[in-house]
Structure 1
Amino acid sequence: MPVFRRPHLKVEQRKSAFSEGNARWTNKDLDPIPRHERKWGVTSLIAYWISDAFNAATWQFASGIIAIGLTWRESLGIVALAFFLVSFVIALNGVIGVIYHAPFPVIARASWGFWGSYIAIISRAILAIFWFAIQTMNGANTVRVMLGAIWPSFLTLHNSIPLSQGIETNTMIAFFLFWIAQVPFLYMHPNNLRWLFMVKSVVVPVAWIAILGWAFGTTRGEDIFQKTSTKTIQGSEYSWAFLSSLTSVIGNYATLSVNQADFSRYSRVSVKWQLLYVPMLPIIFTFISFIGIAASSAGAIKYGTLQWDPMALIANWPSRAARFFAAFSFALAALGVNISANSLSAANDLTALFPRYVDIRRGQLLCAVLCWALVPWKILASAGSFLNFMAAYAVFLGPIAAIMVVDFYLVHHRKYNALALYQPYSIYRYTGGVNWRAVLSFVVGVAPNLPGFINSINPGIGVGVGVHPYQFGWLLGFVGTAGVYWGLSKGFPARETMVERAVLPDMVYEEGGDIEGVSVGAGSGEEEGRGEAKGEKRGVRARLERLL
């Protein structure tokens, strides 16, 4: 007869050297991934990034660039350059996850300190939760088109929701259906999610290449790209528009440049495969942007209106089957990117903030619940300034990524103590749990961008030439913060954090094993067994102390 287990408010904690007497700073999902639980191979990593790239935002990258006066060729060049630059940072931070198999919130402790890391963690959590809500609303729009293709009268369903709410009944139904479709995947372990990414990396590219075929097949290919540019700019205006567009594209994936370790920690292959991102990401993202340009331009020729929103374009198709399957590909794209870029990232951050009560599964489900509280339909309908704020938030992520890269490669020369990252009074305590060098560098890196950041939220506030640093804010923040942090770390080194050799998670697991799980020896009595167990635990702890 199965035993009923009463659910507990606190999450289950694996007994390990990393968690011993340390429930405040870790749980089973924050501990380094043991060797036998690392399931992501090269195929999984490639599928993950193909899955992440194929989404409506990538399709629309070029639209904003072309709208300000650059040509379609220049827009593709900017997309390629942006991902070439950010791919280096993604790869560098991904390597840390492959080596130490710990998530971003834990790795951040090495450079920020235990309490200081909350600056980076909370910044990332806020962004992830809000974008999860907004992406869920985007997914709802794809479901609405799918339902409209199956049941045409669904699009004209009587609306019983007040117009002031910014959403109609049919869209609310679609929102709920897309939201509920995400829940099973939110409950899955990241190791199993690789299958979702593999399926998406096959289905969505095939569908979108078919749409590209439609674009060239229904129009004359040489005429397509003449419908994209609306105005021309030159001189200094062109230079600032170029830099601003470059920053905007980088900003869309600045989050993953910070927390790539959340995913690379599951890797069972060597660090060299992280370098695959450098040639792969520019190629994939540029190709998808090209599809968006071609399809939208073909739609302008065929239907008379340039529609950068793929759902608005698909809605013009006379074939209900074509509308359904095309919209399904975008729904699958939205699902995959919402899991990979938002819910998992938010879950890792929430787990780090509340490790006693939140694990990866609970964190993802909590993110989904908060999605309703944020009423994303009202955000998209009426809060343009808020969306500008969310897009502009990348200026805070460039400095965070810079600190982590410089600290790991230049300050500590790839040598961290994995066990100390889980011990709050270890070498990474710094001053009261905060590395003042990181905090000061972060402030210096962000400060030049604040006037332009404020202007982007409220254009009514004039800042004059102060807007220009913000137009290349991610690059400025990254380079400026990197230089300041490197200088402070050399001038005022935190010598206690320097280790002669790296202490890797596998070394700790092999040395310490299951500390609290040391079994009672089979001696002549209970006291004898208890004494042997205590002696073995003391021996294990002594070996672990040598690692700290």
Structure 2
Amino acid sequence: MAWVCRFETKEYREGRCENRHQWLDNDDLRPIPVQDRTYTWRTYFWFWLSANATPASFYGATTALAAGLSLWEGIACQLAGQIIIAAILCVNGRAGSVYHISYPAIVRASFGVWGGYWPVINRVVMTLVWTGVNAVQGGQCTYVMLHAIFPSIARIPDVFPANASALNSGGLIGFAVFWIMTTSFLHIQIPKLKWYIYIKLVFFVMSCIEAGGIGPVARQGSTVHGTMKSWIIAQYIWIYCANCATYASNAADFMRYAKKPNNAFWPQLIGFPLSTLLVGLVGNIVGSTSQVIFGDLIWNPITLLDAMLTRDYSPRTRAGAFFLALGFTYSSIFSSIFENSIPAGNDLAALWPRFITVRRGFYIAAVVSYAMCPWYILGTASSFVSWLASYQIFLSAITGVMLCQYYIISRGHFIVPDLYTTKPSGLYWYSNGWNYRAYVAYVLGIAPNFYGFLGVFGVHVTTGAQREYYFAYPIGLIISFMAYWGLCILDPPKCMSRHDEWKEPSDYVAPEDESMVGDNSSLETNKEKGNLTNVSLEVLEA
């Protein structure tokens, strides 16, 4: 027999489960069945080594060199920022690994079952942008492959304007080929995709070994000094942190597949900054070689590879470029799926669950991301960094509210069925499905950073405002966290814990999880009756 944690009494469950609202619920938004929780600690550790193993990760690594820092200073800034965001990612995704539900469902606990739509829309925008960005970068890889085979593709007249330098007419062909290859893999079930993580990592490592080489730039010092250097260091630490703001907010989307909750914590806390350190190191070294070969710093490694192919179109160079580009292309495909398609699919499914499943969301995201013209974002290093930093003010405010809700207000205790119901008796109904406390905290978290946010898009702002904006992510996170806590103290919601004890279950199993019927396995569950409010423990006979 197996002990299984069941929320509430049978009558309670039937009353609430039968009242799941069609605009809030579908199979993809419900807790992952036990049989599909297949990601172990090894999966999560290698996940980030594989997920960050893409040429797109090189971009952030080399922009610090363009700002005047040395290679090693840039790497140190990147590592510091990634350690900070890894900690936020792990603690914010904890609810996903325990309750096995996605970000769109979790955010309803703090913003309300209807109010949760706006945070999902916020995150949808960013995931769509990143889906397009990675598709452009993957298209560049595919273009190099095609260029190595067909030299005439480089002679196609360019119809793109000059400021769309990340993509030319030949690159558009590569983009289309890459899009077709990526969408062909989207039919694979998510739990079965973990094996492609390991294959992808092998491909990328082999490509980097062939592409790498240390140039004199790697041994040069910084070109900025004094106070200016200090501010640049601060800027890039938080840029590298904010670069992964989407991961921190939607961590539950991939942590929900954990076999056990702790499988997703320590491996990511270590693996995430380690992976970005290794990829950043390779990115800076590869970028520095362009100074030796061409006399200029080429921050896009794919552009560097194509430049080498253009300069020397010998059979040896063509073969090398093809296989390097093939490895980069394969890496980009699965990075796009894990980092963009899966979160976008979860978000879009939450916006219209009656008609959109996660898989349908994959394909919708692929189409919409193209319409956003993402090649403009990748036109220059400076514009790319601006996009990395700009949207952080919205995501940091959402993350701050979510963290406060789970750790302070709910004390780790979610009534999962109430996340899918519009019954006024539901714990997360608040006021007509909206929690004003979360929205006030959200606005207060954005307000101090909004002036600096305008400066990113060309509005003239003071030097002080520019520097204050360097710290936009922690400012938004802390202010929204404290504001939400204070508002809940002044006007306690029904879901606010009246006791100080921690109420998180060891692992949640949904009452309707049919995979547990007849299960004799040693599933780790709650056995302490006092751990949760209104919890009944049932013994399932094998």
TM range (shorter): 0.7 to 0.9
Which residue of the partner structure matches residue 333 of structure 2? Answer: 335
Letter in structure 1 aligned against 2:279: I
Instruction: Mark the CA change 1:386 to 1:204 in structure 2 (over 3 Å): closer, same or farther.
Output: closer
Q: Deviations over 1:159-193 (max 9, x none)?
A: 37465895543222111101111112223221122
Percent of aligned positions that are identical: 27
Does residue 145 (structure 1) correspond to residue 121 (structure 2)? The answer is no
Work out which of the residue numbers 234, 253, 265 in structure 2 matches 1:243: 234
Q: Distance in 2 between matches of 1:439 and 1:132?
A: 28
Instruction: Mark the CA change 1:197 to 1:510 in structure 2 (over 3 Å): closer, same or farther.
Output: closer
Q: Deviations over 1:123-181 (max 9, x none)?
A: 0001111221122111111111111112222222x337465895543222111101111
Unaligned runs of 5+ in 1: 1-14, 515-544
Q: Distance in 2 between matches of 1:290 and 1:413?
A: 40
Matched-pair contact (CA < 8 Å) for 1:469–1:476? no
- The correspondence of residues 378-417 of structure 1 with structure 2, limited to 5 A, is 380=378, 388-389=386-387, 391-417=389-415
Q: Distance in 2 between matches of 1:383 and 1:248?
A: 13
Instruction: Mark the CA change 1:268 to 1:176 in structure 2 (over 3 Å): closer, same or farther.
Output: same
Count how many residue pairs are aligned between Structure 1 and Structure 2.
493
1:264 shift after superposition? 1.0
Which residue of the partner structure matches residue 361 of structure 2? Answer: 363
Q: Deviations over 1:313-349 (max 9, x none)?
A: 2121541121112222221222122111212111111
Instruction: Mark the CA change 1:281 to 1:381 in structure 2 (over 3 Å): closer, same or farther.
Output: closer
Matched-pair contact (CA < 8 Å) for 1:227–1:297? no
Work out which of the residue numbers 506, 509, 516 in structure 2 matches 1:506: 509
Q: Distance in 2 between matches of 1:282 and 1:433?
A: 38
- The correspondence of residues 136-535 of structure 1 with structure 2, limited to 5 A, is 136-156=135-155, 158-159=156-157, 161=159, 166=164, 168-212=168-212, 215-216=213-214, 223-227=216-220, 229=222, 231-235=223-227, 237-315=228-306, 316=308, 318=312, 319-377=317-375, 380=378, 388-389=386-387, 391-425=389-423, 426-459=426-459, 461-498=460-497, 505-506=508-509, 508-509=511-512
Instruction: Mark the CA change 1:499 to 1:197 in structure 2 (over 3 Å): closer, same or farther.
Output: farther
Matched-pair contact (CA < 8 Å) for 1:47–1:197? yes
Instruction: Mark the CA change 1:359 to 1:387 in structure 2 (over 3 Å): closer, same or farther.
Output: farther
* 414-423 or 192-201, which deviates more: 192-201
Q: Distance in 2 between matches of 1:199 and 1:436?
A: 47
Letter in structure 1 aligned against 2:226: Q
Instruction: Mark the CA change 1:307 to 1:16 in structure 2 (over 3 Å): closer, same or farther.
Output: farther
* 79-88 or 324-333, which deviates more: 324-333
Instruction: Mark the CA change 1:16 to 1:248 in structure 2 (over 3 Å): closer, same or farther.
Output: farther
Q: Deviations over 1:253-288 (max 9, x none)?
A: 110101111111111133254122222222221121
Matched-pair contact (CA < 8 Å) for 1:159–1:169? yes
1:383 shift after superposition? 12
1:391 shift after superposition? 3.8
Q: Deviations over 1:93-118 (max 9, x none)?
A: 22211110100000111111112212
Matched-pair contact (CA < 8 Å) for 1:185–1:193? no
Instruction: Mark the CA change 1:185 to 1:351 in structure 2 (over 3 Å): closer, same or farther.
Output: same
Secondary structure, counterpart of 2:512 in structure 1: helix
Q: Distance in 2 between matches of 1:196 and 1:243?
A: 36
Matched-pair contact (CA < 8 Å) for 2:60–2:385? no
Secondary structure, counterpart of 2:461 in structure 1: coil
Letter in structure 2 aligned against 1:232: V
Which residue of the partner structure matches residue 521 of structure 2? Answer: none
Q: Distance in 1 between matches of 2:18 and 2:362?
A: 22
Instruction: Mark the CA change 1:129 to 1:507 in structure 2 (over 3 Å): closer, same or farther.
Output: closer
Which residue of the partner structure matches residue 529 of structure 2? Answer: none
Instruction: Mark the CA change 1:299 to 1:254 in structure 2 (over 3 Å): closer, same or farther.
Output: same
Instruction: Mark the CA change 1:41 to 1:419 in structure 2 (over 3 Å): closer, same or farther.
Output: same
Larger CA Rg, structure 1 vs 2? 1
- Highest relative contact order (Cα 8 Å, sep 6+), 1 or 2? 2
Q: Distance in 2 between matches of 1:331 and 1:511?
A: 39
Q: Deviations over 1:370-390 (max 9, x none)?
A: 133223345545998698356
Which residue of the partner structure matches residue 30 of structure 1? Answer: 29
Which residue of the partner structure matches residue 539 of structure 1? Answer: none
Q: Distance in 2 between matches of 1:64 and 1:354?
A: 38
1:53 shift after superposition? 1.1
Letter in structure 1 aligned against 2:366: A
Q: Distance in 2 between matches of 1:139 and 1:512?
A: 38
Matched-pair contact (CA < 8 Å) for 2:42–2:267? no
Instruction: Mark the CA change 1:62 to 1:114 in structure 2 (over 3 Å): closer, same or farther.
Output: same
Letter in structure 2 aligned against 1:251: A
Secondary structure, counterpart of 1:509 in structure 2: coil
Which residue of the partner structure matches residue 518 of structure 1? Answer: none
* 173-182 or 334-343, which deviates more: 334-343
Aligned CA-pair RMSD: 2.9
Q: Distance in 1 between matches of 2:169 and 2:109?
A: 49
Letter in structure 2 aligned against 1:70: L
Q: Deviations over 1:434-464 (max 9, x none)?
A: 22221111111111111110011114x2345
Matched-pair contact (CA < 8 Å) for 1:246–1:472? no
Which residue of the partner structure matches residue 123 of structure 1? Answer: 122
1:198 shift after superposition? 2.2
Larger relative helix fraction: 1
Matched-pair contact (CA < 8 Å) for 1:148–1:154? yes
Q: Distance in 2 between matches of 1:433 and 1:136?
A: 37
Q: Deviations over 1:443-491 (max 9, x none)?
A: 11111111110011114x2345222221111111112222222222233
Q: Distance in 1 between matches of 2:86 and 2:375?
A: 32
Instruction: Mark the CA change 1:116 to 1:435 in structure 2 (over 3 Å): closer, same or farther.
Output: same
Instruction: Mark the CA change 1:489 to 1:471 in structure 2 (over 3 Å): closer, same or farther.
Output: same
Secondary structure, counterpart of 2:68 in structure 1: coil
Secondary structure, counterpart of 2:113 in structure 1: coil
Letter in structure 2 aligned against 1:484: A
Matched-pair contact (CA < 8 Å) for 1:19–1:422? no
1:305 shift after superposition? 2.5
Letter in structure 2 aligned against 1:476: I
